[in-house]
Structure 1
Amino acid sequence: MYALHKLLWDIRRDGAVKARYVEEPDAVLDEYGIEGDWRHLMKTLDFKALYERGINPYLLYFCAIQLQVDRAEYYARIRGEVN
């Protein structure tokens, strides 16, 4: 879980990490050692499932903003209204 929190933080704070994640998410996920369900949830940006599994909501929200997820869409996803 720490590695995923670190990735979310880095996407928010480091434009180079964000750009690389957008272009080649698998490579970035590999670098952070994110595997299994965590990897799938991050690739699909399943914010609801990530939140329910204990990911920090502050980090999720600001990562979503950096990844150009509209605020209304983020809230719909976190409520489970949109996948």
Structure 2
Amino acid sequence: MYGVHKLLWDIRRDGAIKSLYTTDPDAALDSYGIEGTFRKLMADFDIKGLYEAGVNPYLLYFCAIQLEVDRADYYARIRGETTP
């Protein structure tokens, strides 16, 4: 869980990490030691899955903003609704 939280924080604070995550998510996940279920959730940026797995909602929300997820889309995704 620490690796996930650290990556979410770093995406928010460091443009190079954000760029790495968006262009080569596997490399980003490897560098933070993220494996198993969290790896799949982060690779897909499954907001609802991450939230339900216990990821800090503050870090998740502000990371989503950095990844240019629209606020309405974020809330729809956290509720498990599909968006067009």
TM-score, normalising length: structure 1: 0.95
Aligned partners of 1:55 and 1:31: how far apart in 2? 19
**Structure 1: unaligned runs, 5 residues or longer:** none
How does 1:42-81 map onto structure 2 within 5 Å?
42-81=42-81
> Corresponding residue for 1:39?
39
The size of the alignment, in residue pairs, is 83
Cα deviation, residue 43, structure 1 = 1.1
Deviations 1:9-67 (A, max 9, x none): 00001111001111110001000000111011011111111111110000000111111
Residue 42 of structure 1: SS of its match in structure 2? helix
* Identical-pair percentage: 71
Aligned partners of 1:73 and 1:57: how far apart in 2? 15
Structure 1 runs of 4+ off > 4 angstroms? none
Aligned partners of 1:41 and 1:8: how far apart in 2? 12
TM-score, normalising length: structure 2: 0.94
**Structure 2: unaligned runs, 5 residues or longer:** none
